[in-house]
Structure 1
Amino acid sequence: MKVLKFGGTSVANAENISKVVSIVKNTIREDKAVVVVSALGGLTDMLLKSAAFAAEGNEDYKQLIAEIEKRHFDTVKALIPVAHQSHLLSIVKTAVNEIEDICNGIFLLNEITPRIKDRLAAYGEWLSSQIIAAYMQFDGVKVQWVDAREMIKTNSNYTQAQVDFSLTLPNIARTLDHKSCDVYIVSGFIASNEKGITTTIGRGGSDYTAAIIAAALNADTLEIWTDVSGMMTADPRLAANAKVIDRISYGEAMELSHFGAKVIYPPTLQPVMNKNIPVWIKNTFAPEDPGTLIVNDEQSVVAAASENIVRGISSINNIALLSLEGSGMVGIPGFSKRLFEALSQERINVILITQSSSEHSICVAVDASKAELAKQAVDAAFAGEQALQLVDPLKVETGLSIVALVGEQMKSHPGVSGRMFSALGRNGINVRAIAQGSSEKNISAVVSTEDVAKAINVLHEDFFETTYKQVHLFIVGVGNVGSKLLEQIDQQNAWLQERLKLKINVVGISNSRNMMFHKKGIDLKSWKEELPKAQPASLQDFVEIALSHNLRNSIFVDISANAEVAAVYDRFLQKSVSVVACNKIAASSEYKIYKRLKELASAYNCKFLFETNVGAGLPVIGTLNDLVHSGDKVHKIEAVLSGTLNYVFNHYDGSRSFSEVVRQAQAEGYTEPDPRLDLGGTDVMRKILILAREAGYEMEMSDIVNNAFLPAECMEGSVEAFYECMQRHEAHFRKLLEEAKEKNCKLKFVATFENGKAAVGLQHISPDNDLYNLYGKDNVVLFYTSRYAEQPLVIKGAGAGADVTASGVFADIVRAAQ
């Protein structure tokens, strides 16, 4: 004998009922079956809503009842030929008339009781089971309809009635022992008390009905047919990469169902577990899918040996956290007992418990809808202690949810909880409370409801994803360098996914005019066409939208030279969003700002990376960090840090004016939009300042000596006026060149740091100097340290250009992601 249960979506309409009957017919080819059915999808909600309307004096209940009648009429007419409909339509009409009479009474009294709620709610399953039985009979199946109220007996705790198994199990065995039919159709969810008055066994109780019947009959299997292909590693509506669990233990399934997995009603497994009856979770709309098998622990342990130690991730929303605190609780027995008694008397279920070892506080989680009632009850219970200020008034926090890891094997694998909280912490998800049972099947954390989707995705990625880690980018500045970066990401994403298990998803981009967002990723092949059509750019809006997305593994990338953009880094870091900055302003601003950003990155477990601030794509800062972190001390830095100035002086040979060479450098993308930032030395000052700070020295921009070579008047006015000024002063630049040639030297703009002092300026570099053989736009940095005292550590290569700068930003993104 098999027991099959079909949920509301499986019997929502005539088309779905046809699928159900097809599944049942395939089953009874091999064995007899008991089929337990729910009400038509959404019908129980409609019945209870009509009662609620009536109790409020809202006559819209009549419209709802009309819709209930129409849905059943339409279903009958679609399934049964016209000549055979009348009897079934009469049953539906009689039932709807009774529903209307009950609601009319509620309307007149403006009151509804739990007993009446059960009476109304029962019509859903009663009608659906009658219709399905009639359709099967017409289809040639030997079927018998059974009203569950005749078999399942409960107490009178209406809406959540407790089953009396001593009466129920023999009733089922007697009622379903006939051999004259192939299928019994049973109404789920409903039962009756000792007086025969209708009760219900909890929303989702049709699963429970099926399990009770399976236990009573010692069924071979129990099959729960629903609209998903089994229990999943996480809610697929929240985690796009959720996977079906092929095999799971009773204990694990019970934990997952208790903590929000809606596939199965929590009490369902207890009756079948006691009889060791296997349970299958199957998909009515994809019956060929394997589904999930729920079996005993021993079998599951063997099956799980080569699988994930965490079997699933679940969550419960609408949670309130209640905290009872006070110095008068320490060392005094009985406080916990009184707290739980107060809650129990109000029938408030405690979902999670945690207590500090100091006994100064007890924290419990309950359904948020019961929070106010709980506060009243607990405050009343401890009124005496509160009056003496021994216990504080109960604290209530709402807007919370519970996220839980479930797995039978977690107890034998150390570090699971550490891995869980580390993953949450890296993504800025604050944990308000923690609970872990002694069985270690479940590790639960209370988090903000707005973080639930993020938390589930973070944990699912950490414990289940073997294919890749998804990284989300928000990029400001998609000009020359930004465009190259997006091109490189597009070209390299497949390689990163294959080799580093990273998938980079560009979620938001902005230039000075427009910005656009797409949670699933912006198309990197068409973004140039789409961005001008997008919404107007606003830095504050960009920040708000990026943070509101609340995506895991997020990175903010700044490829601008804008001080306002640099000023928002702290907002991202405080949300555990890493910052990758091509923009030098933040790291070269006041020391206290630089230090705060570094501290925020450390405090919020994220990264603040700015490798391209010095040397474009060269590994200058990374190498310096490695030296310092390994205990080396930097004594001196000597460097040519401007690819622009190196390019200019390498190309200025007197055949063209200095102004023309600078124009060429700007045209080829080697200068800032305002070349004076390069030629005036400001850019180089920022770079040596950043290196000094990264070497461990506290220094400000004002501490750096700038031996400028440009005439002062050239620094005034517009960029075009700057070029005109340089043209007028060509003799000045020619003199600088000739003086260097006379000494057989080259002109190099050099930055130095030694003994805590820094300077930048034009120097004559002789052939025997390490800086002499530096061509094109190359940079070079020489680190003199305790370990590299005689021969410096030299880093040399292209220090300007959109491609190499973009590649440096890209490398920082990968570092932040890992």
Structure 2
Amino acid sequence: MQQQVQNIEYSASLNPLKQVEVTTNVHKFGGSSLANAQCINRVVEIIKNNAKLNDFIVVSANGKTTDQLFSLLECVDDKDQFTVQLEQLKNDQAALINELLDSSQAAQLLQQLDKDITFIDVEFSNAFTSNRNDVLAFGELWSARLLATVLSHNVCQANAIDARNVFILDSTNNFQLNEQLSKQNINAEKLANHLNIFTGFIASDELGNSHTLGRNGSDYSATIAAHLLNAKNVTLWTDVNGVYSADPRIVNTARKLFRLENSVAKELGRLGNPILHANTLKPLTTHNIHLNVASSFEPQDSGTEIGAFGDIAKSEISVTHNNELIKIDSDEFDARILEQINTRFQPIYQCQNKTCFVISQQFADLALHYLQEQGIKFSIKNVSLIAVVGYQIANRGEIKARFKRALKHTDIAQFVGSSNGHSLLAFFEHESSVELINNVHSQVTKDSRNIGVVIAGLGNIGKRFLELLPAQLARVHALENVHLVGLATSKKALINTDGIEVNQALELFQKDGLAYNNQLLLEWLSHHPYDELVLVDITPSEQFSNLYQAFFEQGIHVISANKCAGSSSTATYNKLLSTQQSTGSQWLVNTTVGAGLPVNYAIKDLLNSGDTINEVAGIFSGTLSWLFSNFDGSLAFSELLQNALEQGFTEPDPRDDLSGLDVQRKLLILARLAGFELELEDIECQNLVPSSLINLSVDEFLTQANELDEYFADKLLEAKQQNGCLRYVARFSKTETGYRAKVGLEILANAHAFANLTPCDNIFLLTTNWYQDNPLIIQGPGAGRDVTAGGLHSDLVNLCRELAVKTKEVEIKGIN
């Protein structure tokens, strides 16, 4: 039974949680993506998962087929060599067909192949005196026919289209595309409710003569087709998973550029980027086509998007180089000659006085022949180029200064800015060395990483975190490339890949936030366009903490004030740690205990330095600290509790504080950080709420809270009789046989370190091998919106400092 292609639509929406209209998309697969049966089967899966009926699939020739055809054309004087190579070509194509299809499915393709091979043989007999492009066109024809047949038998109906019946070039107008006629043709050739498989690379003129669009012409075919079809999205599936900040073959610290602004991508293509090509990007100049470069070998990876983006994408910087350039000088260029040069040879640079221009060596022979025909006297010189490319980069003084510093002590021939302002060009009269290219890249891109921040939870602390964010971004250098890109509550979310204005974040959230579910959020996070993504969890939600595993699997960093994950079961906790470490994610939990107090930092630092934690003790609840610091008998405990509730010192349901669960979780988190493995239930916990009050509603509990008074009055009297005070204490200690852990009410001497606290303060006592006789004590506010929000900002700054020095060597399958 035939399967239906999934109706999945890629969205480049500013808010990816919005629904998008269904449009036609174009997918192009390069020769390496179709090189063998395994590759073609992988392409079929990509099409099933990413395309829909009525989409267009543009294909290159399989593997090295085009090279084989060019080689045949060069055998015009060697019959024996031609025969051997033609037989090899036929066998390769037949083997590919037979590996992918059974005999009945393959029969028609094999018959067509025999006819085509006979045609090539006849062409050789005629010394290839007719149109050589008719031979070169077979690579794409065979590829399109094969993929269409495989899809028709395994997925859905597919239709192979010969682009020569569609793309018509006007021979009277420098072989420009006849757009009107080509649009009529493509609409006539495509079949509804089919996947239309289209040949790249080839076209024809109005007389029916075959033409090719040049090497990498299939990419150009894809964007032309998208323009004619009014498509919105084009994906170039290739053997590398995006465009990088430099050629990753020689700069192993190059960054993948997740998003490129249209004009910057066009400039990269103009200057000779190995992935982007100038012709490919021409339709992007005047039409709103979104381009995506992705890897068919790693289709789950986010590629590079090219389109209309905001300031974050426009801040990207890249370095490109070209060692295959020719500089031509002459004093005899006139307006007519220069117009022809610009039209026909795509100069990379033309000097201001119009006496010289620089072109790619691929146009050198044609250009020299043209100038000789015109009787122009000229001189030529081999030159190389290193260029720094970015949106209006010529106006970014600091980048320009860095580039010049990197070129210091080099014999640079010329340093100029491009006329469009998107590149700075340095020319040399020799090849640019790998060392110099790496040095330039290191100097100019050292601060260009983009870090996206998503905040989950917009209660008191979340709002305070947002209030502090603008000033933090302005004054802390480590946050220079941090961008607020997401806000979420339990009800709705606002995600904006171009960034959310921090000074208006809450207003924008109220206005533009949309209902979402966790799956939608995860889908967006899995394709985020940033070097790093940080999720700041300021929720109390156990359900949200269950997403941490998925976050870590995607390499997302988590800063958490949420205690649920850190106090989850040992199996869950260990799995989170293992996943986080294996993917390089960071998990910072310093505000889960002690708000902004550095107790977590202290434990980690001691362990990393070789010390051993033997005891952790203290008062970990700001609420219980306030209650027992103020409980002197002048008010009944229930009255004091009501006062604390009215002043916001307790949870809306005070039993959440009195149960001891919060303190129990905090002790578990610290014990685990200290290197011990235990469960929450391994910590003995005294619940201060009597069983008679546990299952009541909040209002009923508050009405009957006076039932607490007798117990606490008796405990206070007992404490005073011992010249002491009441405190709710957490204790964890190492023993000869394991450990002992408990949280509960204790009577402490009035001189005890835990007795003399400012109400709401937390105190932590650490006994270690180094701090044995005189334990380390950390004391201060353990709750409050300012200190907790400040602690989260501290985590963010420290994380960004770590990420600033993080390096990741490029892993690529290759570049065509």
1:321 is aligned to none
1:477 to 457, 467, 485: 457
Q: How far does residue 668 in structure 1 lie from its aligned partner after superposition?
A: 4.0
Whichever residue aligns with residue 766 of structure 1, its letter is A
Residues 246 and 292 in structure 1, CA contact (< 8 A), matched pair in contact too: no
1:493 equivalent in structure 2:
473
Quote the Cα distance in structure 2 between the aligned partners of 1:177 and 1:239.
28
Which residue number in structure 2 is paired with residue 765 of structure 1?
A: 748
Secondary structure of the residue that 1:780 maps to in structure 2?
strand
What is residue 295 of structure 1 aligned with on the other side? 428
One-letter amino acid of the structure 2 residue matched with residue 649 of structure 1: F
Closer/same/farther in 2, CA of residues 70 and 218 from structure 1, 3 Å limit:
closer
Structure 1 residues 248 and 811: alpha-carbon distance in aligned structure 2, compared to 1, 3 A threshold: closer
Query: Which stretch of the first structure deviates more once superposed, 655-664 or 708-717?
Result: 655-664
Counterpart CA distance in 2 for 1:584 and 1:116 is: 59
Q: Is the 1:558–1:581 contact (alpha carbons within 8 Å) kept by the matching residues of 2? A: yes
User: Residues 221, 757 of structure 1: CA spacing in aligned structure 2 closer, same or farther, 3 A cutoff?
Assistant: same
Distance 1:218 1:104, change over 3 A: closer
Please tell me whether the aligned partners of residues 668 and 679 of structure 2 are also in contact (alpha carbons under 8 angstroms): yes
> How much has 1:604 moved relative to structure 2?
1.7
| 1:247–1:294 contact (8 Å) kept in structure 2 | no
Question: Structure 1 residue 58: deviation in Å?
Answer: 5.5
Name the counterpart of 1:614.
593
When residues 595 and 186 of structure 1 are mapped into structure 2, their CA distance, relative to the original with a 3 A threshold, is: same
Partner in structure 2 of residue 233 of structure 1: 388
Task: Give the distance between the partners of 2:491 and 2:479, measured in 1 at CA.
Answer: 34
Distance 1:635 1:514, change over 3 A: same
Question: Structure 1 residues 757 and 208, CA, compared in 2 at 3 Å: closer, same or farther?
Answer: farther
Q: 1:808 aligns with which of 784, 788, 791?
A: 791
Deviation at 1:621, TM superposition (A): 0.9
Match of 2:518 in 1: 539
**Residues of 2 paired with 1:180 and 1:714: CA distance?**
96
SS of the residue 2:773 aligns to: coil
Of structures 1 and 2, the one scoring higher in RCO (CA 8 A, sep 6+) is 2
1:691 corresponding residue in structure 2: 670
Q: 2:505 matched to 1:505?
A: no
How far did residue 463 of structure 1 move?
Answer: 5.2
Rate the CA distance shift 1:798–1:246 in 2: closer, same or farther, 3 A.
closer
1:720–1:237: structure 2 CA closer, same or farther, 3 Å change rule? farther
Match of 2:650 in 1: 671
| 1:631 counterpart SS class | coil
Question: Could you tell me which residue of structure 1 aligns to residue 210 of structure 2?
Answer: 112
The match for 1:408 is 436
CA distance in 1, matches of 2:412, 2:627: 82
For residue 409 of structure 1, report the CA deviation from its aligned partner: 6.4
Alignment-derived partner of residue 643 in structure 1: 622
CA drift at 1:588: 0.6
Secondary structure at the counterpart of residue 753 of structure 2? coil
Relative to the length of structure 2, the TM-score reads: 0.52
> More deviation in 782-791 or 180-189?
180-189
Q: What are the residue-to-residue correspondences of 1:333-372 with 2, within 5 Å?
A: none
1:713 match: 692
Query: Residues 645, 55 of structure 1: CA spacing in aligned structure 2 closer, same or farther, 3 A cutoff?
Result: closer
Ranges in structure 2 where 5+ consecutive residues have no aligned partner: 1-136, 142-159, 180-203, 221-278, 280-325, 346-358, 802-816
SS of the aligned residue for 1:584 comes to coil
1:118-267 pair list within 5 angstroms? 184-185=337-338, 187-188=340-341, 206=363, 209=366, 219=379, 232-234=387-389, 236=391
Q: Give the deviation of 1:510 after TM superposition.
A: 0.5
Q: Which amino acid aligns with 1:105?
A: L
In 2, distance between residues paired with 1:115 and 1:610? Answer: 56
Q: CA deviation at 1:670?
A: 3.6
Q: Write the deviation string for residues 598-625 of structure 1: whole angstroms up to 9, x where unpaired.
A: 2222222231110111111100111011
Change (3 A) 1:655 1:672: same
CA 795–665 in structure 1, closer or farther in 2 if over 3 Å, else same: same
The 1:785–1:113 alpha-carbon spacing in structure 2 relative to 1, beyond 3 Å, is: closer
Per-residue Cα deviation, 1:277-298 (whole angstroms, up to 9, x for no partner): 9577763456xx9952311349
Does the C-alpha gap of structure 1 residues 546 and 664 become closer, same or farther in structure 2, counting only changes over 3 Å?
farther
- Which has the higher Rg, Structure 1 or Structure 2? 1
Give the CA deviation at 1:566: 0.8
Report the equivalent of 2:557: 578
Which residue of structure 2 aligns with residue 5 of structure 1?
A: none
**Aligned partners of 1:212, 1:249: CA distance in 2, in Å?**
38
Correspondence for 1:33: none
Any idea what the Cα deviations from partners look like across 1:298-347, whole Å, max 9, x if unmatched? 9x78xxxxxxxxxxxxxxxxxxxxxxxxxxxxxxxxxxxxxxxxxxxxxx
Q: Which amino acid aligns with 2:455?
A: I
Is residue 557–residue 580 contact of structure 1 (8 Å, CA) maintained in 2?
A: yes
CA distance in 2, matches of 1:658, 1:763: 16
> Pick from 283, 287, 291: which aligns with 2:418?
283
Deviations 1:650-673 (A, max 9, x none): 223334443343344344444344
CA contact (8 A) 1:246 1:293 kept: no
The Cα offsets for residues 446-480 of structure 1, whole Å up to 9 and x where unpaired, read as xxxxxxxxxxxxxx7x7534567543211111111
Alignment of 1:780-795 (within 5 A): 780-795=763-778
Q: Provide the rounded CA distance (Å) in 2 between the counterparts of 1:221 and 1:706.
A: 83
Deviation, 1:703, is: 0.8
Cα distance in 1 between the residues matched to 2:756 and 2:171: 87
Task: Give the distance between the partners of 1:116 and 1:793, measured in 2 at CA.
Answer: 72
Paired residue type of 1:233:
V
Secondary structure, counterpart of 1:570 in structure 2: helix
Q: Is the 8 A contact 2:638 2:708 kept in 1?
A: no
Aligned length, in residue pairs: 489
- The amino acid across from 1:283 in the alignment is S
Q: How does 1:309-320 map to 2 (within 5 A)?
A: none
Number of the residue aligned with 1:400: none
* 2:55 counterpart residue number: none
Corresponding residue for 2:571?
A: 592
Q: Is the 8 A contact 2:394 2:424 kept in 1?
A: no
| Alpha-carbon displacement from aligned partner over 1:179-221 (angstroms, at most 9, x marks no partner) | 7979744745869xxxxxxxxxx99955775588899956488
2:484 corresponds to 1:515? no
Q: Secondary structure at the match of 2:476?
A: helix
Q: 1:627 aligns with which of 603, 606, 617?
A: 606
Kept in 2: contact 1:496–1:503 (CA 8 A): no
In 2, the alpha carbon distance for the partners of 1:726 and 1:653 equals 18
Q: Whole-Å Cα distance in 2 between the matches of residues 677 and 180 of structure 1? A: 85
Task: Check whether the contact 2:169–2:177 (CA below 8 A) recurs between aligned residues.
Answer: no
